[in-house]
A and B are shown apart, each in its own frame.
Chain A
Amino acid sequence: MTTTDKANGSLKTDIVVYVCILALSGLQIILAYQHAGGAQLMARMLALALIQAGLGVMYFMHLRDERRNLRLALIPATIFVLLMMNMIWSDSFRLLHMRPFMK
């Protein structure tokens, strides 16, 4: 029997996760209106979005029910690529502060 064939949790769990994801979305909106913009707000927003994504991937997409080697094949590679994209920020700040295109 494959993991696909297993019964994946209960509908009750799905509803709890659904409510959590909606509540986190609501929290994002409250945070957006309570704080002015900036790096701290963006970090909080991203943290909440990551929690939502984690809940969705593990419970809605049932990755937690799959074999560990599937999780190991998918998750670290994705995180590595996304982390490597952070190299762009130094150039973005260079544009902001040094204004190389200003006349």
Chain B
Amino acid sequence: MSEADLTMGGHVPGIMEESPFAIPSKKLVMWLFIISDAVTFGAMLFAYGYVKNASPDWPEPFTFSPSIINVMLMTFILVTSSLTMLVATRAAKAGDKAAGIRWTFVTVGGGFLFALLHIREWSRLIGEGVRLFQNPWGSPMFGATFFAITGLHLTHVIGGVIALTVVALGYKRGRYNSDDIEICALYWHFVDLVWMFVVPMVYLLNIKR
């Protein structure tokens, strides 16, 4: 056996040690990605807090209808899509391929709906005159921070929808297995959890009274 076989994944029973974390390498990589992404979102939210705190005229533009109702609906859809992804993972792990694929596509539908509602909210704010560095209400940085944070999250949702679609189709064709569905699910749950911080920080602390 060559050295390349040992280093590049040529497994020989009895030679390779057990993984120290008892998870597949690709799952560990996903966890590391999630940690780095959590820190990225953390930095964005800290920067948002910094600018908001330093601006005495920070706008509070979000009314109950339509903004907060829209946010409530988006939260419900995203958390529900996490539940459907759990069902998909459970089905895939149990060997029920058809149910795994079906529930993954239900999750994709949830993500798609979330993105549509998000774009609707953006359109409404743009229609009210919010731009990256100007708005009709106060501190010009409001638009930049709002669009940066929600835009980064929306990019993650769209990326997740694409990834889930590709992996579900690959799983159907036998290219991917249930581990890959589970790893995509980890990412999807993370996107859901980030939204739990975006809603209070960006929307609920800026409601119009």
Contact = CB atoms under 8 A, between A and B. Distances in A.
Are A and B associated in one complex?
yes
Interface of A: 2-5, 7-8, 11, 14-15, 18, 21-22, 25, 28-29, 31-33, 36-37, 41-42, 45-46, 48-49, 52-53, 56-57, 60-61, 66-67, 69-70, 73-74, 77-78, 81-82, 85-86, 88-89, 91-93, 95-96
B190 interface: yes
B94 to A, nearest CB: 9
B185 to A, nearest CB: 8
30 contacts: A3-B23, A4-B27, A4-B179, A4-B182, A7-B93, A15-B83, A29-B204, A31-B204, A32-B200, A33-B207, A41-B205, A42-B200, A45-B200, A49-B200, A52-B193, A57-B193, A60-B86, A61-B190, A69-B21, A73-B21, A85-B42, A88-B46, A89-B53, A92-B51, A92-B53, A93-B53, A93-B54, A95-B54, A96-B53, A96-B56
A84 to B, nearest CB: 10
Contacts of B80: 18
Interface of A is mostly: helix
Given A2-B24, A67-B21, A11 B90 contact: yes
- Centre residue among B35, B199, B204, B209 by max chain A CB count within 10 A: B204
B75 A25 contact: yes
B189 A66 contact: no
B171 to A, nearest CB: 16
Contact of B39 (A5, A14, A53, A78): A78
A18 B64 CA distance: 24
Nearest to B85: A60
A18 B79 contact: yes
Q: Binding site of B, secondary structure by majority: helix, strand, loop or mixed?
A: helix
Contacts of B193: 52-53, 56-57
Contacts of B60: 37
B72 A29 contact: yes
Contacts of A15: 83
A41 B205 CA distance: 8
Nearest to B189: A60
B79 A22 contact: yes
B104 interface: no
A61 B47 CA distance: 27
Contacts of B93: 5, 7
How many B residues touch the partner, as a band? Answer: 35 or more
B86 A48 contact: no
A32 B204 contact: yes
Give the interface centre of A4, A8, A28, A61 by most chain B CB atoms within 10 Å: A61
Specify which of A2, A25, A41 lies most central, judged by the most chain B CB atoms within 10 Å of its CB.
Answer: A25
A49 B197 contact: yes
